[in-house]
Amino acid sequence: MRESEELKMFRKSVRQFGEREILPHVEEWEEQGSFPKELYLKAAEQGLLGIRVPEKFGGAGLDYGYSMALAEELCWSQSMGVVISLMMHAEIATPLIDALGNEEQKREYLPDAVLGKKIAGLGITEPGFGSDVASISTTARLEGDHYVLNGSKTFITNGATADVLIVVAKSDPNAGHKGLSLFLVPTQTKGYSVGRRLSKLGNRTSDTTEIHFEECHIPRSALLGEAGRGFYYIMHNFQAERLVGAALSCGMSQMMWEDGLRYAKERMIFKRPVAEYQIWQHEFAQLRAEITSCRALTYQAVDLLNHGENASELIAMAKLLACELAEKVATRMLQVHGGYGYMEEYAIARHYRDVRLMTIGGGTTEVMREIIAKGFMK
Ligand SMILES: Cc1cc2nc3c(=O)[nH]c(=O)nc-3n(C[C@H](O)[C@H](O)[C@H](O)COP(=O)(O)OP(=O)(O)OC[C@H]3O[C@@H](n4cnc5c(N)ncnc54)[C@H](O)[C@@H]3O)c2cc1C
């Protein structure tokens, strides 16, 4: 993959941002289970929050290549928790407002989202339904000039910090998946409440909560896109979300691989560095080949998206392989650290817990295989 000088410089600046603004605080933020909201403002100053948002709304108007570089390079901050929160806001939720919003909605949300002043999240998953999006049960009843939301969401990234949540709800309970709509819900709305803050295996700096709606009145103008098209919008937006998942997995894999190799070159066993044993050289070589191939697949999908083509099958392949690979790399790089890998004072222990999310969030590995299979079983 050839990259322009601009993209290379962008990569460098993102990596420096993560190493300067996030890395020194990771342990403290992990401990407290959150990171300061001011980090969004700092990321905005660096121009990281509106990469694909058009310039007229304050964004940079760039393409998916930059979004993927952002996801990859932020991994060197060594905090996947912070990165998934930033990516949820900047690369998953905000672009959905850009893609579907009317002029008024875009003017209301996009400039502040790009400046890190209004944080966005996406509420699809419910306690009863995750993979099966068509079955979600939160309702949006139309009453005069308002929709009235009732129901609950769970596992919502940025649940406690978001200022606006894009909510998927059933506006026509009798129309199956054609009855789903999207709504822009300010989190201060009466009837909207943040439920439990969920205690997680990993990514502890990222807040993940339940959200409840109880007779939550939102104006009709909060409808995002057309009523009844929500299922299709979500399926389309999954392309960007899953591409972020693939890029994040590639970034985490590369970062863990580099860290593991550095350790293996320093750690002496039987008077020789671990890295001098052929068995480990072959292990590193194998992983390097697999990481390179996952990156190539991911950037092939990026290329399709940049040309406005449907990339859902390729993205499913990239997410499937890159996310499974991140788990494998974490396991092997923990192993190369021996007992130290099992100690919390070594970052690999945290990465091992964090990357476990990748084969689940934004569509599971099984769902990715299902998408690929549908392509050849038509
Ligand atoms: C830390 C974290 C953050 C998250 N952030 C968000 C967020 O911000 N917003 C949001 O809306 N959601 C979020 N999610 C939810 C996430 O997208 C879902 O967990 C995921 O889509 C899976 O849904 P589920 O958990 O309900 O699992 P289920 O759908 O109940 O799946 C259970 C099992 O069945 C398998 N399965 C599903 N379909 C099939 C099939 N067709 N064939 C065979 N097996 C199948 C699954 O792969 C899985 O192994 C988050 C989750 C986590 C853990």
Residue to probe by mutation, ligand 1, list 87, 131, 168, most atoms within 8 Å of CB: 131
Please answer whether residues 275 and 264 qualify as being in contact, where contact means their C-beta atoms are separated by less than 8 angstroms. yes
CATH number of 121-227: 2.40.110.10
Residue of the CA atom closest to atom 7 of ligand 1? 156
Domain ranges for the chain = 5-118, 121-227, 231-377
Q: Give the CA count within 13 Å in the CB-facing half-sphere of 202.
A: 22
pLDDT digits (tens, 9 = 90+) for 323-352: 999 999 999 999 999 999 999 999 999 999
Q: Indicate if the pLDDT at residue 1 is higher than 80.
A: no
From the CB of 369, is ligand 1 less than 6 Å away?
no
Which sign, positive or negative, has the C-alpha torsion 237, 98, 204, 355? positive
CA of 359 to the centre of ligand 1 (A): 9
Residues noted as catalytic: 241
CATH topology of domain 5-118: Butyryl-Coa Dehydrogenase, subunit A; domain 1 (1.10.540)
**CATH 3.40.50.1110 describes domain 231-377:** no
Average pLDDT, whole number, for the chain? 97
CA of 17 to the centre of ligand 1 (A): 31
Distance CA 19, CA 299 (A): 24
Q: What is the pTM of this model?
A: 0.97
Q: Provide the pLDDT for residue 378.
A: 85
Distance CA 40, CA 84 (A): 12
